[in-house]
Amino acid sequence: MSLERLGLGLLHRLDPETGHGLALKALRAGLVGGNGPISTSRLRVQLAGLDLPNPLGLAAGFDKNAVAVDALSRCGFGFVEAGAATPRPQPGNPRPRLFRLTEDHAVINRFGFNNDGASAIAGRLAARRGSGIVGLNLGANKDSADKAGDFAQVLADCGGHVDFATVNVSSPNTEKLRDLQGPAALRALLAGVMAARDALPRRVPVFLKIAPDLTSEELSDIAGVAVEAGIDAIIASNTTLSRNNLKSNHKDQAGGLSGRPLFELSTRVLAQLSQATGGALPLIGVGGIEDAATAYAKIKAGATALQLYSALVYGGFALVQEILRGLDAALARDGFDNVAQAVGSGRGEWL
């Protein structure tokens, strides 16, 4: 048994949030990690002007406060997303707020954007020493009178220290946040964010992260607003509020569901967005990626790049190399010289 597998077993004896905190400490101490991004000529990909060594990124939520971004960048990922960050520090929702659904290979969380605030996070991002591609998920304070303005404020505070930023209007754990996905509200919010981006010392790609619990009409509206606003990519998708055929004891907990049960829903949303945008902007596929097959399926459904998080709870960081080696082999098997050639090649299977 590997040391990491043994460590995972020990962490699973603790409550999930305590275990997660120890994992971050292990990363910072150099007890977990690797030698840097995994890359081959087939795996390299361009995303919104970013030259990614491979398409597999770490989703936001793992390192909310940017305390271990350098260590995480050494774990094999092509890019890492910290956050979500809000303008002011906030504690989030009461504990317990993170639940392992082991039988379902899933997770439910209702954190509520707990973080140290944009100022503290900006300081850590400014101090990072690694060369990995690091982005920040932008959020809004729960008690903010101007949630749309919060996104622009975080970008203004932190944008000079990151390689990309993500507008997160899709977390289910902040009241009325998902209301900002409506066309008029989203248009106004993105105008403010893009103005803040334009005031930065250098151009930072801005991504938009959406919920999977949207109708085809809503997806089409969001795609249209995103293209109009000049968004550089859409991340599909965040966690879901749906609950279908779950077995675990915590299946009825409130919050966003991620992991294996999200795969089909999020991949259908991804394919629909791919069709709706017609290649006008790249897509990042998230939700239920746990092996090379699910990663490859996302690419064929329309994803230029990928992110995962929940699968690490069950597979550890060794999973990153396993997925990327398998993905490289799958591309070679099917005659693709690179990821870009495979993007959208199997979209019809999900429509």
Contact residues for 135 (Cβ-Cβ < 8 A; gap 6+): 79, 80, 81, 82, 162, 163, 164, 165, 166, 207
Residue 185 lies in a domain: yes
Answering whether pTM is above 0.95, one says: yes
Catalytic residues: 171
| Single-letter amino acid, residue 28 | R
Residue 262 lies in a domain: yes
Domain extent for 139:
35-350
Residue 4 lies in a domain: no
Least Cα distance to 2 among 228, 317, 339 occurs for: 317
Tens of pLDDT along the chain (351 residues) come to: 466 777 788 888 999 999 999 999 999 998 887 889 999 999 999 999 999 999 999 999 999 999 999 999 999 999 999 999 999 999 999 999 999 999 999 999 999 999 999 999 999 999 999 899 999 999 999 999 999 999 999 999 999 999 999 999 888 888 778 888 888 989 999 999 999 999 999 999 999 999 999 999 999 999 999 999 999 999 999 999 999 999 999 999 999 999 999 999 999 999 999 999 998 999 999 999 999 999 999 999 999 999 999 999 999 999 999 999 999 999 999 999 999 999 999 999 999
Residue 337 lies in a domain: yes
Residue 19 lies in a domain: no
Residue 16 lies in a domain: no
Q: What's the CATH code of the domain at 216?
A: 3.20.20.70
Residue 11 lies in a domain: no
Q: Residue 235 gets which letter from DSSP?
A: E
For the chain, percent helix, then strand, then coil, each to nearest 5?
Answer: 40, 15, 40
What is the domain count for the chain? 1
